[in-house]
Amino acid sequence: MTSMMLLSESDLVATNLSFDEILALVEQTYALQAGGDVEVPTKIGVHPAYPKSFLHAMPAWVGGDAPSLGMKWISYYPGNVSRGLPDSTGVILLNDPHNGQPICMMEGMYITFLRTAACAAVAAKHLVHEPKTLGLVGCGGLGKWSLRFMCHAFPSLDTVYVTSKKPESRREFCETADVPNCRVIPVDHPREAVADSDIVVTSVPPNDMPPVESGFLREGSLFIPLDIVNSWSPAALADFDRFVVDNVEAFPSLLKRKLGHEGMDLGSFVSMQQMIASSISPANTGDRIFVGVCGIASIDIAIAWTMYQRAKQSNSGASFQMR
């Protein structure tokens, strides 16, 4: 008989994985992938008969001294909020890396938020030095965690500009922000949030009027659209001098869907994994850099495995027997 653990979001929070531990896991997993010790295929999915909806299957194997194995299964149904449901939901399934047996199922969105924001912060650490100003476009869950991880990774940050579609959402975000060393300031227009920012992070849903247009970003800034293609206009793509992405195989197709054509040569992209493994920044002073965090499951699984081990040590969660 195999026992399978069930972990809720509160069980995962209770593992108390620190910001530093999460950032270290991200760097370690990227470096393992650069060395060939990770297998993480591009996500596959189905698209139900609801506008712009999808369910993605994201398996991964992570090797190294503490191997992990599993899959994230994540859905996106835009407009669910109007029905009293979250737009995105997810679960993570872990298998024993030594025998393949399923050992844990856990809530997946908490780790998704942590992983995505931590990947952005790790990339920024390798590309900018002592930034002072952060611009956030979008202030949902990813905006919240991006603020926390960036302020933790960069004690030099002292000002954060926040914009969103609704004035009340950005005001509430700024009033409740728990980053004591930073001024968190709501602004009305996206250009106000990004024009003077060293780092810009966006997290907005699909829309007909992308908030970041050509000419908004200053020289030497780092642009991290965690929504990948939702926040920038096609004309803005020409503003960037460098592109650093964590999935150089999938990113061209994302650009093609956005632009209607290939957009650029694959050689224009720098692999985030190779950048981190080599500890060499591909940037020059004054470059505008686009960072593509494409959402690769290896890091979700590495974080999930560490949380599972901690939950197991503390006898958290529930379990059931499988034949």
Show Cβ contacts of residue 221 under 8 Å, excluding neighbours closer than 6 positions. 194, 197, 198, 199, 200, 288, 289
Asked if residue 235 and residue 105 are part of one domain, the reply reads no
User: What is the number of other CB atoms lying within 10 angstroms of the CB of residue 26?
Assistant: 26
**Within this chain, do residues 139 and 7 fall inside the same structural domain, yes or no?**
no
Q: How many CB atoms lie within 10 A of CB 223?
A: 24
Q: What is the residue whose two structure tokens read 């560490």?
A: 306
Residues 142 and 220 in one domain: yes
**Are 313 and 222 part of one and the same domain?**
no
264 touches 275 (CB < 8 A): no
CATH, residue 128: 3.40.50.720
178 in the same domain as 276: yes
Q: Show the low-confidence residues of the chain (pLDDT under 50).
A: none
Alpha-carbon distances, residue 63 vs 14, 24, 116, 183 (angstroms)? 26, 16, 21, 41
Q: How far is CA 315 from the centre of its chain?
A: 29
- Say how far apart CA 29 and CA 51 lie, in whole Å: 34
Q: How far is CA 12 from the centre of its chain?
A: 18
Q: How far apart are CA 191 and CA 137, in angstroms?
A: 10
Same domain, 162 and 270: yes
Place of tokens 């949902």: 140
pLDDT for position 253: 85
Instruction: Quote the domain boundaries for residue 133.
Output: 117-292
pLDDT score at 261: 63
Dig out the tokens for 127 from the structure.
């590309």
| Domain count for the chain | 2
**Which of the 8 DSSP states describes residue 123?**
H
One domain, residues 255 and 315: no
Give the span between the Cα atoms of 12 and 10, in whole angstroms.
Answer: 5
Q: Are residues 161 and 178 in the same domain?
A: yes
181-215 pLDDT per residue, tens: 899 999 999 999 999 999 999 999 888 899 999 99
CATH number, domain of 50, equals 3.30.1780.10
Whether residues 235 and 316 fall in one domain: no
User: Do residues 314 and 241 share a domain?
Assistant: no
What tens digit of pLDDT does each residue of 214-231 get? 999 999 999 999 999 999
Strands ordered across the beta sheet of 159-163: 183-186, 159-163, 133-137, 199-202, 222-225, 289-292, 242-245, 269-271
Asked if residue 156 and residue 8 are part of one domain, the reply reads no
What phi and psi, each to the nearest 5 degrees, are found at residue 163? -135, 155
User: Could you tell me if 314 and 191 lie in one domain?
Assistant: no
Alpha helix locations (H) across 44-156? Answer: 109-125, 141-153
